[in-house]
């Protein structure tokens, strides 16, 4: 059974903190993705990685960075969290079909 896991289901952070969101997949997929989902705005792509150490900006990369040191792990980093980064964050991996993790609900106070 395919599996994409995310490090936290719920996270509360303060403005200015550095935040790490971790995603791990066990399907040996080359492609991994980070999205955020907000009411009325739908799913928006933050960053995409197509191989280890390879990344590509998505539609809304500002305020975020990523790290892919190993094939199975893709990390999203909020360098200095702000309240407008309060959102649901979804990680996915794919060869053909995209498989999603359970999501992390991040609240920045």
Partner 1 sequence: KQEVTQIPAALSVPEGENLVLNCSFTDSAIYNLQWFRQDPGKGLTSLLLIQSSQREQTSGRLNASLDKSSGRSTLYIAASQPGDSATYLCAAPRADSWGKLQFGAGTQVVVTP
Q: Shortest approach of partner 1 to residue 17 CB, angstroms?
A: 23
Q: Shortest approach of partner 1 to residue 60 CB, angstroms?
A: 13
Residue (9 or 18) nearer to partner 1, CB? 9
Residue (58 or 63) nearer to partner 1, CB? 58
Q: Shortest approach of partner 1 to residue 21 CB, angstroms?
A: 13
Collapsing DSSP states into helix, strand and coil, what is residue 84?
helix
- Listed in sequence order, the residues at least 6 apart from 47 whose beta carbon sits closer than 8 Å to its beta carbon are 33, 34, 55, 56, 57, 58, 61, 64, 65, 66, 76
Binding site residues, partner 1, CB under 8 A = 4, 31, 33, 42-43, 45, 48, 50, 56, 58, 88, 90, 92, 94, 96-103, 105
Cα distances (Å, whole numbers) of residue 9 to 6, 30, 56, 70 = 7, 24, 25, 22
Q: Shortest approach of partner 1 to residue 13 CB, angstroms?
A: 19
Residue (3 or 18) nearer to partner 1, CB? 3
Question: Could you tell me if 32 and 95 are in contact, meaning their C-beta atoms sit under 8 angstroms apart?
Answer: no
Question: 26 phi and psi, to 5 degrees?
Answer: -115, 20
């Amino acid at each position: 059974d395919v599996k994409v896991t995310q490090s936290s289901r719920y996270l509360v952070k303060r403005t200015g903190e550095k935040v790490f969101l971790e995603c791990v997949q066990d399907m040996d997929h080359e492609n991994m993705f980070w999205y955020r989902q907000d009411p009325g705005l739908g799913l928006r792509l933050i960053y995409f990685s197509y191989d280890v150490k390879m990344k590509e900006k998505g539609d809304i990369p500002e305020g975020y960075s990523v790290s892919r040191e190993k094939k199975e792990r893709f990390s999203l980093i909020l360098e200095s969290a702000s309240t407008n980064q309060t959102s649901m964050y979804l990680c996915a991996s794919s060869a053909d079909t995209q498989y999603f993790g359970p999501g992390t609900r991040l609240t920045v106070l």
